[in-house]
A = this chain, B = another copy of it.
Amino acid sequence: MIALLIRDMRLAMRAGGGFGLGLAFFLLVAVLVPLGVGPESATLAKIAPGILWVGALLACLLSLDRLFALDFEDGSLDLLVTAPIPLEGVVAIKALAHWAVTGLPLTLVAPVLGILLNLPDAGFYWLVVSLLLGTPALSMIGAFGAALTVGLKRGGLLLSLLVLPLYVPTLIFGAEVVKRGAEGMATSTPLALLAAITAGASALLPFAAAAAIRINLR
Contact = CB atoms under 8 A, between A and B. Distances in A.
A115 interface: no
Interface string A133-172: 0000000000000000000111011101100110110011
A175 B50 contact: no
Which of A34, A36, A156 has the most chain B CB atoms closer than 10 A to its own CB? A36
A35 interface: yes
User: How many chain copies does the complex carry?
Assistant: 2
Interface residues of A, number: 47
B157 A70 contact: no
B21 A33 contact: no
B28 A51 contact: no
Interface of A: 16, 18, 21-22, 24-25, 28-29, 32-38, 43, 46-47, 49-51, 53-54, 57-58, 62-63, 65-66, 69-70, 152-154, 156-158, 160-161, 164-165, 167-168, 171-172, 175, 179
Given A21-B161, A36-B172, A37-B49, 4 more contacts: A21-B158, A36-B54, A37-B50, A38-B46
